[in-house]
Amino acid sequence: MIKYREKIGALLASFALNLKRYKNAAFIFIKGKKDDIKSSTSSSIQLVPSVIKKPSVVWRWLFTSYWFYFSLIIAVILMNTVVGAAIDKSLTKIYPTIKTEKFFGLVVQEQNDPRIEWQRKLIRGVLWVGACGLNAYVLLLCLPGIVRKTTRKARKNEAKADAIVTEKPSESILLYSKALKLAVGQSHESCLKSKIDTLDDAFRSGKIERSSPMSSTTPEPKGTGTLVLPKNEFPNHSKQENVIGPDGRYRIERKLGNGAMGIVFLAKDQLLFRDVALKKLTAGQNLDQNLVTRFQQEARALARLSHPNIVQIYDFVQEENQYWIAMEYVEGKDLDSHINENGKYVIAESLRMCILIAEAMDYAHNRGVVHRDFKPSNVLVTNAGDVKVMDFGLAKLTHSSIATMEGSLIGSPAFMSPEQAMGKAVDERSDIYALGVTLYQLLTGKLPFKGDLKSVITQKIAGHQPSLKLLENQMPADLIRIVSNMMANNPDERPVTMNDVGQTLRKISQTES
C-alpha cells in the first residue's frame, strides 16, 4: 500500500512539474506574440501620415493587401450566414414565442417576443462594427510590407535615373518623378526633389546639349540629351580641403563615423546630384601597402555586387596618396546600435532581418565574395525597416589573384569562426557562423561567448561550444537547431550555403506567423 502511495505521489509531482513548464512556455509564447503585435501596430501607425500624402502608395496599399480582402470576404459570408442564424437561434431561446389563447382556448396564436427584433438589430450592429474594425486593423498591418515594396521600387527607379543622368537627362527626370510618387519619407523625397530641380535648372540655363548624331542617316533617338557642365561652371571646382575626386566631384559635408579601416563622411556627388558615403583610409594607415591592397580589394569586391540588401559602391578614388571609396548613403542606424538600445528582438523580426541578410550574403557568395568580418555593426537598418550589409573591406575574392592575408587574424572576435580565429583560410561557412552568432544575439540580446578579446579567441580555438540555455524553453525547437548548426565548431557541420540558411529560416518564420 505504501509503495502505491509513493508511486502515486511521484506521478503527481511529475505532473505538477510538467504543468508548470507548459504554463511557463505558454506564457512566454503569448508574451512574444503580444510583443510582435504591439511592434507591428506601432510601426504601421507611424507610417500612416506619410502614406496618405502619396496616392500611388495608397492605391498599391488598397489593391495589394490580400489578407484584408480575404478577411473582409470571410466576415461578409459569416455575418450573413452562420452568425445571423446563430443570433436568431440564441434570441429565440432567450425570448420564447408568446402564445395567446382565444375563443376559450380553442384558438392558440403564437407570435415572436417584440424584444427580439430590436436586440437582433443591436447585436448585428455591434458585430458589424467589430468586423469592420478588425478588417481595418488587418489593412493597417499590411502597410509596412507595402511601404517596403514601394520604397524598393522607388530606389530602383532612382538608381536607373542615376545611371543615365549624364546621357539621357530627360529620361532621368521621368524616372526621378516616378520614384518621387512612390517615395515614403521626408529625406528621400527631398533628395529626389533636389535632383529633379537641379536637372530642370540645367535645362533652363542651357547646360544640357543634344548629342550630335553619328551620321545624317541615323537620327538621334528622342530623349538622349547629354548633360554638359563646363569646368568653370562646375560647383566647387577650385581645389579645397573638403572637395576630392576628379574636377572636385565629391564635396564632403560632415563626418558620419569611424569604420574598421577608415573614416566615413557624408558627401555630395556634384555630377549626379546625390548624397554618397565616402570612406577614407585613415592618415596613419596610408603607408601600409597591405592595408592599401585590402582597401582596393574592397572596392573591387563591392563593384561586383548589386543587390537591394547590399550597400552599393559607386566609385574608387586615389588622390595625392589618399584612397577613397564612394558608396551608397543609407539613412538609418547600424543593427548593433539598435540591439544596444532595444535589447533582444521578437522572433518574427529577428527572422525577417536574418532572411534578408542571408539572401544578400548568398548573392555575394555566388559571385565569389566572402565578407570575413560580418557583424551587426556592418548591417544598416534603414528608416523603412530594410537591412543592408556593408563594409566588405575584409572580403576575400575567392577567384581573384589578389593576395589573401592567410595566417593573419582578420575579423571581429565575437563573431569570428573557430577556423578564422586560428588564422586558417576561410570560406562562405565562416559568414554562416557569424550570421548564427548575430541571430543568437538578436533573439537573446547577448553574445554566446563571454569574456575579453583574448578569452573569446582562446575559447574558440579550444573548440568550446556556445551555451544555448538562453534559447531553451523560449524558442521553437527548429529555431534552436538551426542556430546551433550555424555556430558549429566544425565548418562541415554547418549549413552548406547561405541559401540553405535562408530557406530554413523562412520555413520557421512561416510556421511562427
Query: Could you write out the three-class secondary structure of 331-352?
Result: CEEEHHHHHHHHCCCCHHHHHH
| Residues 426/396, Cβ–Cβ less than 8 Å | yes
**Better-scored residue on pLDDT, 19 or 267:** 267
Of the listed ranges 245-249, 257-261, 315-319, the least confidently predicted one is 257-261
Nearest partner of 412 among 363, 445, 447, judged by Cα = 447
The pLDDT tens digits of the residues spanning 152-209 come to: 888 888 888 888 877 777 788 888 888 888 787 777 777 788 788 777 767 666 555 4
How far is the CA of 154 from the CAs of 56, 93, 189, 197, 444, in angstroms?
Answer: 11, 59, 10, 18, 35
Q: In the structure grid, which three cell numbers stand for residue 404, read together?
A: 589573401
Mean pLDDT, rounded, for 376-395: 83
Mean pLDDT, rounded, for 43-50: 65
Task: Determine what percent of the chain is predicted with pLDDT higher than 90.
Answer: 18
DSSP H/E element including 484: helix 477-486
Give the pLDDT score at 108. 60
Residue type, 299: A
A 10 A CB-CB count for 357 gives 27
How remote is the C-alpha of 37 from its chain's centroid? Answer: 18
Q: In the structure grid, which three cell numbers stand for residue 291, read together?
A: 592595408
Of the listed ranges 1-15, 99-113, 326-340, 417-431, the least confidently predicted one is 1-15
Give the pLDDT score at 491. 92
Residues in the chain: 513
Q: How confident is the model at residue 148 (pLDDT cuts 50, 70, 90)?
A: confident
C-alpha angle with apex 157: 152 to 162, nearest 5 degrees? 120
- From the number of C-beta atoms within 10 Å of its C-beta (0-12, 13-18, 19+), residue 401 rates as exposed
3-state class (DSSP) for residue 445: coil
Of the listed ranges 269-278, 360-369, 496-505, the least confidently predicted one is 269-278
Give the pLDDT score at 463. 66
- From the number of C-beta atoms within 10 Å of its C-beta (0-12, 13-18, 19+), residue 415 rates as buried
Q: Which residues are catalytic?
A: 373
| Residues 262/280, Cβ–Cβ less than 8 Å | yes
Nearest partner of 312 among 242, 261, 384, 360, judged by Cα = 360
User: pLDDT at residue 270 above 60?
Assistant: yes
How remote is the C-alpha of 290 from its chain's centroid? Answer: 34
C-alpha angle with apex 379: 378 to 380, nearest 5 degrees? 120
Whole-number Å distance between alpha carbons of 157 and 180: 9
**Longest distance between any two alpha carbons in the chain, whole Å:** 118
Of the listed ranges 22-31, 394-403, 469-478, the least confidently predicted one is 394-403
Q: For the CA atoms of 24, 28, 30, 35, what is the dihedral angle to 10 degrees?
A: 160
Alpha helices of 445-476 — where are they, by DSSP H?
A: 453-461
Residue type, 431: D
Which strands, in side-by-side order, build the sheet including 322-328? 243-244, 250-258, 262-269, 274-281, 322-328, 313-319
Count the alpha carbons within 13 Å of 275 in the hemisphere toward its beta carbon.
18
Mean pLDDT, rounded, for 99-128: 70
Whole-number Å distance between alpha carbons of 317 and 278: 10
User: pLDDT at residue 229 above 80?
Assistant: no
Beta strands in 360-444 (DSSP E): 369-370, 379-382, 387-389, 396-397
Buried b (16+ CB within 10 A) or exposed e, 449-480: beeeeeebbebbeeeeebebebbeebbeeebb
Give the pLDDT score at 284. 46
3-state class (DSSP) for residue 210: strand
A 10 A CB-CB count for 62 gives 13
C-alpha angle with apex 270: 268 to 271, nearest 5 degrees? 135
Average pLDDT of the residues of the chain: 73
Give the pLDDT score at 136. 74
Q: In the structure grid, which three cell numbers stand for residue 181, read together?
A: 510618387
Whole-number Å distance between alpha carbons of 228 and 4: 97
